[in-house]
Every structure is written in C-alpha cells, then in structure tokens.
Structure 1
C-alpha cells in the first residue's frame, strides 16, 4: 500500500478525491474540468460561453489558449462537438471574446 492508501484506524482506506477530467475539442489535451472553458448549446439552440459551467445543454470544452479557440471555431470542431451548426455571427462573437481574453497567449 502506498502511504496515502493506509487505512484509518477503525475505518476504510482514504481514496483520492475524484476530479472530473475533460478534453479540449481542438487540441485534445486532457485535464481537470477547471482548466477549460465550457461552451454550451442550450435546448433552445443558443450557443454561448458558460463560465459557471451550469447552463443546461450540450457542452464542449476548449483550452484557455487563443490557438485552440481559433481551431475549434474555424475548423468546425466546436460545431461537431455541440452536434449542430454554429452561426457565423456566433462564431465571430466567440472568436472575438477569445481574442480579448487570450490575446497574450498562444
């Protein structure tokens, strides 16, 4: 048994806390959910960034890098993951938001 797997006196072994893992739709990097930005397609069909990660609907995750946002939007990976079209106006809006947030990054 590893040190962290030692049973407590009179109790079961402690397990490491589970952290949800997601992957970027553009670069496919995997990591904790908190490392990514969620984009959601609501049941009504609207597509938007979901900062609290709580809006109901089909979600897709993108890294916090401008290059990933560009690939996700321009190569259609976001639309594919959201299982529906993303209008040119929404694509432009998402790309503009990404440029503002991540302009100093890759």
Structure 2
C-alpha cells in the first residue's frame, strides 16, 4: 500500500508548516482580485493562513498578506476572513 504524502503549506501568520487542509487560502487572481478561496483550486497567487484569529491578526498587523500577494488587500477581505473564523 502506498502512503500518500500530505501537502504542507506555511501559514503567513505564525510561519509554521501545517497540512494544507487545515489552512485557509487567500488568492490573488490573474485579474488582480483578492478573494478567499474555499476550494483551494482557484488560479492565481495563493497564501495560506491558519484558521485562528491570532494568526490572522498577526498577518494583518505585519502586512504579511499584502507582502505575499504583492498587492493591496482590502478591508473587506479581512472582515470576511474574521467572520469566517467566528462561524
């Protein structure tokens, strides 16, 4: 039996490697639109953040999403992420 390798990604908040399934993906599409990618399959530049408010706030304060995506991230994206974490 072949053991499947679990894809790991680095959280922009805590900088820890975690399984891709545990993280939320934020993507900058080829049209330069920043959005939350629930499927994990949208095309574009993606960054990952843990599903905890601490990691999101750390990424927000230190502008890590902007740096990783190489574009401005609107306040609506952060609001959407916060509400998604609370639900």
- Give yes or no for TM over 0.5: yes
Alignment check: 8 A CA contact 1:26 1:69 kept: yes
Is the partner of 2:40 in helix, strand or coil?
coil
Cα distance in 1 for residues equivalent to 2:28 and 2:47: 9
Which SS does the other structure have where 1:43 is aligned? coil
Unpaired runs of 5+ residues, structure 2, are none
Q: TM-score, normalised by structure 2?
A: 0.87
Check the 8 A contact 1:40/1:59 in 2, yes or no: yes
Tell me, which stretches of 5 or more residues in structure 1 are unaligned?
A: 1-13
Whose Rg is larger?
Answer: 1
2:46 aligned with 1:63, yes or no?
no
CA-CA distance at 1:94 after TM superposition: 2.2
Q: Are 2:86 and 1:103 aligned?
A: yes
The runs of 4+ residues in structure 1 deviating greater than 6 Å are none
Higher RCO, 1 vs 2 (CA within 8 Å, ≥6 residues apart): 2
Secondary structure of 2:26 counterpart = strand
- 2:81 and 2:31 map into 1 onto residues whose CA distance is 23
Query: Structure 1-normalised TM-score?
Result: 0.73
Residue of structure 2 aligned with 1:41, choices 24, 28, 37: 28
More strand by share: 2
State how many pairs are aligned. 87
State the distance in 1 between where 2:15 and 2:4 align: 24
Range with greater deviation from structure 2 (37-46 or 75-84)? 75-84
